[in-house]
Structure 1
Amino acid sequence: MGSCCSTSDNSSQHELDQQPRPAQPPPSDMPPTRDHVVTLDKKWAYHAVDGYELNNNTWGLESATSGSQRTHYDGPPSSPPGGGGGGGGGGASESGGAVGIAWSTDWEWQGGEHNVKSYVYGARRFERRLLSEIRALPTEAEWHYSTWDVRANVAYDIFTDTDRDHANSSGEFEVMIWLAKLGGVWPISESKAPIAHVDICGHQWEVHFGHNHGGAMKVYSFLPVNGPIQHFSADVKQFFDYLSHQFQFPQHNQYMLVFQLGTEAFTGGPAEFVVPKFIADVVCE
């Protein structure tokens, strides 16, 4: 457990969508306010609890003209594994009963609208294994934004590499599963268009591909076709199996480095991002 180190810059630069912005549904009702157990207010401030970790990963704050961000550990999830649901869920519980966390972040950033200011995240701690040795990556997540009037995304982020001891801030591959794109932000994409469409875990996705870190890291991004997914229950291993089948993703030599869920913030706010439930597990053969 705990192979991930405590600081990660996750320096993914995402491009702006030049297409007309689709209408977004109004924000759903925010969950009841919870007292914060731990507050992280420094860059890369870190907290580990119950097999999970939080990082106030404001790696790009220098590109802002003003603003700040804090991240909070709010205790155990608001409902047990498999509880809750609705609002675009993916069906029955996929998390296999794994204990989870609740967390939140509040932020406001101005300036540098094309630059990511942060990717604050909750993450599952685990012993790194080859993806070919992993049978399932079950997860459940529920999230809420206090406003859609921000430039941000909500996304799972997973790095993989042939080196088991590679730093957790990058890898040979990055796979992002976007649950929302707000304010016209867009994934890393060389063609500026999806390379494929696919139905995985009960949702339709666009698949985008590009490079980051000077071309050294290959990035696959899955974007939901039908708008934000605020209740998500899935086996993330199915995304890697799809990439292996369609794009020869080399699971046999890629170690999974991180298993994160967070929000990349560009500009806007004040905004509150609340995750009443984040549960994830790594199930090996």
Structure 2
Amino acid sequence: MLSSLATIAAFVAVAHGAATGLPSRTTAADAALCSQYAYQSVNGYDLLNNLWGISTATSGSQCTTYDGPAGSGIAFSSTWTWQGDQNTVKSYIYAGRQFQRKKVSDIRSLPTTVEWSYNRTDHRANVAYDIFTSTDPDHANSSGDFELMIWLHRYGGIWPITSSSTGSPIATVTVAGYSWDLYTGYNGAMRVYSFVAPNGPYNSFTADVKEFFNYLVKNESFPESQQYMLIYQFGTEAFVGGPIKFGVSKFQAEVN
């Protein structure tokens, strides 16, 4: 979750997951997911057209489509257009790996590969991995005690949640062979860590996400032996802009 720099202190976002009611389910491989929480389970992944912030839009729409298998992962895309408050997220389009929850300390590796693109750049959005953890293995997957985000790019001057009054990162680091600006702050009671690509997009990204947890354990006292990983997802948070297309030609993730 994130906010614009102008609203960091006040912004407390609604959780990413479908918090009210059950998502609608689609089974056809080429069917478009267009309703607020339209959902598809395919090849070990969840695909969700998550319009959790639609109430802040004055107009707009979004449809997400499963585009087929990609190696041992999946391909998907989404077309969206949103108008309204430029500082609030309207949706989080994502695919999430299905897995058996376990403590972060018991996870050996979290290998992933993703290839993605936007067909325009004149919008406000990020492209990011998003992971929640909690002491409760049965916690809802819409929030947690901690949130780890890995931003492969950001558009339109948006910023991650930070406690810094200047919006400055707490560190510039190298993790998994990539450079990052690290931000941290709170979304309500949930501690958020955001690793943000500092110099342009990582459109093709291959890494072991466990290395990000290892960094937090060593440098931020992250309590890995007490935290269960709840969800492992990748997508884009859309603010305003469009019509625009977000395409993921491959998203593959494993929990070992």
Equivalent of residue 210 in structure 1, options 172, 185, 193: 185
Are 2:5 and 1:16 equivalent residues in the alignment?
yes
Structure 1 stretches of 4+ moved >4 Å: none
Give 1:40's aligned residue.
33
Give 2:135's aligned residue.
162
Alpha-carbon distance in 2 for matches of 1:38, 1:280? 23
Are 2:176 and 1:201 equivalent residues in the alignment?
yes
State the AA in 1 paired with 2:63.
R
State the AA in 2 paired with 1:114.
N
SS at 1:243's partner residue?
Answer: helix
Give 1:95's aligned residue.
none
Alpha-carbon distance in 2 for matches of 1:204, 1:53? 29
Residue-by-residue CA offset, 1:13-65 (whole Å, 9 max, x unaligned) = 412379xxxxxxxxxxxxxxxxx712101001100011101000010011010
Alpha-carbon distance in 2 for matches of 1:267, 1:110? 5
Give 1:226's aligned residue.
199
Residue-by-residue CA offset, 1:164-221 (whole Å, 9 max, x unaligned) = 0000000000000000000101000110110111111221101000000x2x100000
Give 1:86's aligned residue.
none
In structure 1, list runs of 5 or more residues that go unmatched. 1-11, 19-35, 81-98
State the AA in 2 paired with 1:63.
T
- Structure number having the greater strand percentage: 2
Alpha-carbon distance in 2 for matches of 1:147, 1:190? 31
Mark the CA change 1:202 to 1:156 in structure 2 (over 3 Å): closer, same or farther: same
Give 1:255's aligned residue.
228
Alpha-carbon distance in 1 for matches of 2:96, 2:6? 28
Give 1:3's aligned residue.
none
State the AA in 1 paired with 2:38.
A
Alpha-carbon distance in 2 for matches of 1:152, 1:260? 16
Give 2:75's aligned residue.
102
Instruction: Give the conservation status (yes or no) of the 8 Å contact 2:4–2:157.
Output: no
Are 2:57 and 1:64 equivalent residues in the alignment?
yes
Instruction: Give the conservation status (yes or no) of the 8 Å contact 1:17–1:185.
Output: no
Alpha-carbon distance in 2 for matches of 1:253, 1:209? 20
Alpha-carbon distance in 1 for matches of 2:124, 2:136? 34
State the AA in 2 paired with 1:253.
Q
Aligned-residue CA RMSD in angstroms? 1.2
Alpha-carbon distance in 2 for matches of 1:17, 1:181? 16
Residue-by-residue CA offset, 1:69-101 (whole Å, 9 max, x unaligned) = 011101111xx3xxxxxxxxxxxxxxxxxx100
Equivalent of residue 240 in structure 1, options 213, 225, 231: 213
TM-score, normalised relative to structure 2? 0.89
SS at 1:226's partner residue?
Answer: coil
In structure 2, list runs of 5 or more residues that go unmatched. 8-28
Instruction: Give the conservation status (yes or no) of the 8 Å contact 2:131–2:230.
Output: yes
Mark the CA change 1:187 to 1:13 in structure 2 (over 3 Å): closer, same or farther: closer
SS at 2:96's partner residue?
Answer: strand
Aligned pairs for 1:131-210 (under 5 A) are 131-191=104-164, 192-210=167-185
SS at 1:127's partner residue?
Answer: coil
State the AA in 2 paired with 1:68.
S
Aligned pairs for 1:56-135 (under 5 A) are 56-77=49-70, 80=71, 99-135=72-108
